[in-house]
Structure 1
């Protein structure tokens, strides 16, 4: 997506210091999505929110923030749908919402590569839509711009999340190289195969090691579907296969990182002393593990700013106001304070 002028707005989280651990971000200033939340709307809007998995820990937080902003700031009526990862079910849910006179949709696509199908349903019903979290293909976002469709995407730079994970490892005393052989031997616990985030986060972590002057060697990789128990089981597999060679576990989200932590302890190793674990999301329990030193770090996936931006963009599209086609929110590194 980089290099497309006029398409996007980047919103940065900045640098914060929180009780015993450091939160460090990109340092750019927040951008205005173009819609003010200063006054509550006089009319009652009906907003449909379609999630791919409402049991996902990150999406639970995102959903609650969306509900807070849209109901408190706009007095909107919220209708939530959960397709439980089924793309066909999600199409049917969107069609049903459109036929029942929803004013605007917020869509977390189950199958991001098929976002065009969802956008076409919305277009057929003259329904504005904001896609969130799971990124549609670049060509689809460009189509919205070129055809002037009332669509927008709110998400993050997924490479940045992986890069920050790699940088967290490089900031450790041994740069992730416990055995001193000059190589960071790592496992990748990725999300799901349908999600671009899985690929970009993994790629970013590997590239950060190289840019930091360390050679990285991927010795284990598997998809854990963003799930804590799967993260635990995959880490057990990685330890059994790789043994003491395993030095770092890059996890696509905090749920899998928390599962990895459980597995490392279960195997009689000390996370943070024998193996480094890093995640993405900034979940409360993961931050607690960072504070105690059993998870090395995580990358805040700023659900509050994303949800607030998505809400503003959705209302702006409904009102026919000029909005951007995409909004990018910066990630933020979270590690122990020194």
Structure 2
């Protein structure tokens, strides 16, 4: 009898242990097998329309990926508000909280070394985006990556919009009939690689097409609409309707220029305005005719590249599987020209 009770007790204990083991292994209750991926994102300025679009796309891509994987994915986006000191502190926070990946939209692209050293010491890879560190800094470590756009292409395409309009109807641009285009150039932030490249290739492409240019003025507006509006207001007072084309390194500044033009109540002979980025407000401006065109800077493709690199690194995946990765660390996305001829297509998908 004692033996039977003893065996019964042993069987009961074994049954409980087996049940607990089964519960743990049950895929319905998989909380023990879920790993969290933490991705920290620090932005130079969150109120930059294009940058905020990239981060929104990253968050959307992460949510979709999370629903189809065994990982919980946390995207922590913080705003450096144009301060390198803020950005340095934000990176410290990501390091101290053991984030898997740090994505950095640099405040100052020439001062990346301190951030790189912090991440390297903690062995946390960095994905830089939109603001490319200098080549010397990118070679400091083998866990540094950069995602951006083909800046030369955007400048060339911006020029093509004006070249094509000029060839189609010279009088629509050369309004004073002097055989050349009088223009102003609104440039982005000094030191930003895309700003200088967009300016250079835009002007170079137009002159290579045999069109003579006369620069009336150029100045920086730091990617900001309000600053561009102020600059444009000054130029209108100085040059009046002599300005035939306004080239802008991005759409926010182009929209600021349009605001100044509208406030000046210029009747007829309004300058043609062309931007870059393809943000929704710019597409609407192309549709209503206040902009002759813009260049879509593919924020979705850049967001996908940033996320793909981050996810692959965090899950120890094969980096060679990442589409478009050049030299083991660079991805540069392409652009698309938008004018009144095709803007409806992109407005539908904005």
Once the 2 structures are TM-superposed, how far is the Cα of residue 162 of structure 1 from its aligned partner? Answer: 1.4
Instruction: Indicate if the aligned counterparts of 1:71 and 1:78 stay in contact, CA closer than 8 A.
Output: no
Once the 2 structures are TM-superposed, how far is the Cα of residue 151 of structure 1 from its aligned partner? Answer: 1.5
- Indicate which of 201, 207, 213 corresponds to 1:216: 213
Instruction: Sort the Cα spacing of 1:51 and 1:270 in 2 relative to 1 into closer, same or farther, 3 A.
Output: farther
Once the 2 structures are TM-superposed, how far is the Cα of residue 270 of structure 1 from its aligned partner? Answer: 5.4
> Is 1:131 the counterpart of 2:133 in the alignment?
no
Once the 2 structures are TM-superposed, how far is the Cα of residue 337 of structure 1 from its aligned partner? Answer: 1.0
- Larger relative contact order (Cα-Cα within 8 Å, sequence gap ≥ 6): 1
Residue 26 of structure 1 aligns with which residue?
A: none
> Is 1:68 the counterpart of 2:60 in the alignment?
yes
> Is 1:158 the counterpart of 2:151 in the alignment?
yes
> Is 1:310 the counterpart of 2:306 in the alignment?
yes
Instruction: Indicate if the aligned counterparts of 1:270 and 1:294 stay in contact, CA closer than 8 A.
Output: no
TM-score norm. by structure 1 comes to 0.82
Once the 2 structures are TM-superposed, how far is the Cα of residue 219 of structure 1 from its aligned partner? Answer: 1.4
Q: RMSD of aligned C-alpha atoms?
A: 1.8
Larger Rg computed on CA atoms: 2
Q: Distance in 2 between matches of 1:90 and 1:281?
A: 25
**Aligned residue pairs: how many?**
293
Residue 296 of structure 2 aligns with which residue?
A: 300
> Is 1:244 the counterpart of 2:248 in the alignment?
no
1:190-209 matches, cutoff 5 A: 190-209=187-206
Q: Distance in 1 between matches of 2:235 and 2:244?
A: 11
- Indicate which of 32, 39, 51 corresponds to 1:47: 39
Residue 259 of structure 2 aligns with which residue?
A: 262
Which runs of 5 or more structure 2 residues have no equivalent in the other structure? 1-32, 67-71, 321-327, 343-350
1:320-331 matches, cutoff 5 A: 320=316, 321-323=318-320, 324-331=328-335
Once the 2 structures are TM-superposed, how far is the Cα of residue 42 of structure 1 from its aligned partner? Answer: 4.9
Which runs of 5 or more structure 1 residues have no equivalent in the other structure? 1-40
> 2:258 is paired with a residue of what secondary structure?
helix
Q: Distance in 1 between matches of 2:146 and 2:216?
A: 35
Q: Which runs of 4+ in 1 moved over 6 A?
A: none
> 1:243 is paired with a residue of what secondary structure?
helix
Q: Distance in 1 between matches of 2:202 and 2:293?
A: 13
Once the 2 structures are TM-superposed, how far is the Cα of residue 217 of structure 1 from its aligned partner? Answer: 2.1
Q: Distance in 1 between matches of 2:55 and 2:303?
A: 8
> 2:339 is paired with a residue of what secondary structure?
strand
